[in-house]
Amino acid sequence: MKKISKRREQANKKIEPKMYSPMEAVTLLKETATAKFVESAEAHFSLNIDPKYSDQQLRTTLILPKGTGKTKRIAVLIQNEKITSEIQALADIVGSDVLIDSMTKGELDFDILLATPDMMPKLAKLGRVLGPKGLMPSPKAGTVTTDILSAINEFKGGKIEYRADKTGIVHISFGKASFTIEDLLDNLTSVYTSVEQNKPSGVKGRYFKTMYVCSTMGPSIGVDFTSFKTK
């Protein structure tokens, strides 16, 4: 049996086996984020969906009102003649065939890859490289677009992508434990609202099963998600 650290044991003692209101949950999240680094705040939804069916898949984006607390490195794949000084100033990496060559060699020094539609055929051969890392551009994720400048600003400003895994669970980082309680609550409310509003058409009956939040190294905290609807 894996030994529980004293830090984690103390954090576990603060959590009761019940569902907390969103405000109580983010307050406890901050109290139990006691690692020596700034932990992320995470939300985990168990949904009544089966993603193997096309009408029960969930993949979309949202903009966190208080940002992510992370600095995202953005790469832009675009035709050389379309590269502007504004794009070069905002993006961390910009290129065309040279960028594709570097990715082919495994050089993936970025968090988000944006691409114009005309460049997507050239990325087909990199599916096995980019796909497993979640870096393959997609129209649904807002990472395939003709408006590169807007996309860069949105992702730099707190736009995130999320999807349900094959078991119907959604994992979303909604900020840092160092955020204020109010900012974490604003972001968490936006996350819940987005998941609710993007309910797949094929869902039958109850949509949400459970919702938990935690810090990177902290214990899970149950959230009474029905409380969001009373706001």
Mean pLDDT computed over 166-179: 96
**Residue 162: closest CA among 184, 136, 191, 133:** 191
Question: Same domain for 142 and 86?
Answer: yes
Over residues 103-155, the pLDDT tens digits come to 999 999 999 999 999 999 999 999 899 988 889 999 988 899 999 999 999 99
Residue 231 in this model has a pLDDT that exceeds 60: no
What domain range includes position 98?
Answer: 74-156
In the predicted model, is pLDDT for residue 207 greater than 90? Answer: yes
In terms of domains, do 136 and 165 share one?
A: no
Structure tokens at 211: 């919702």
Residues 6+ apart with CB under 8 A from 78: 87, 94, 95, 96, 115, 116, 119, 148
One domain for residues 149 and 170? no
| Number of domains present in the structure of the chain | 2
Going by C-beta distance under 8 Å and a sequence separation of 6 or more, which residues neighbour residue 13? none
Boundary-marking domain end, from 156, 177, 196:
156
Reference 118, options 80, 146, 87; nearest CA is 146
pLDDT tens digits, one per residue of 66-84: 999 988 899 999 999 999 9
Query: Does 169 lie in the same domain as 63?
Result: yes
Report, as an integer, the average pLDDT of 178-193: 97
Which of 55-59, 138-142, 221-225 has the least mean pLDDT? 138-142
Task: Kindly state the average pLDDT of the residues 26-36.
Answer: 94
Number of other CB atoms surrounding residue 54 within 10 Å: 9
Identify the domain boundary among 156, 181, 200.
Answer: 156
Distance CA 209, CA 47 (A): 5
* The pLDDT value given to residue 10: 76
Instruction: Give residue 229's pLDDT.
Output: 66
For residue 68, which of 150, 163, 154, 134 has the smallest C-alpha distance? 154
What span, in angstroms and rounded, lies between the C-alpha atoms of 138 and 145?
9
Average pLDDT over residues 183-189: 97
109 plus 214 within the same structural domain: no
- The CA angle 219-65-93, to the nearest 5 degrees, is 95
Single out the residue in 121, 156, 191 at which a domain terminates. Answer: 156
Same domain, 62 and 168: yes
CATH code for the domain in which residue 203 is found: 3.30.190.20
Query: pLDDT category, 15, cuts 50, 70, 90?
Result: confident
Q: Can you give the pLDDT at residue 140? A: 83
Copy the structure tokens of residue 104.
């082919």
The encoded tokens of residue 186 equal 């604003």
Instruction: Summarize pLDDT for 91-105 with one digit per residue, the tens.
Output: 999 999 999 999 999
Confidence of residue 3 (pLDDT cuts 50, 70, 90): low
Q: What is the pLDDT, as a whole number, of residue 20?
A: 96
Judgement on whether residues 100 and 35 belong to the same structural domain of the protein: no
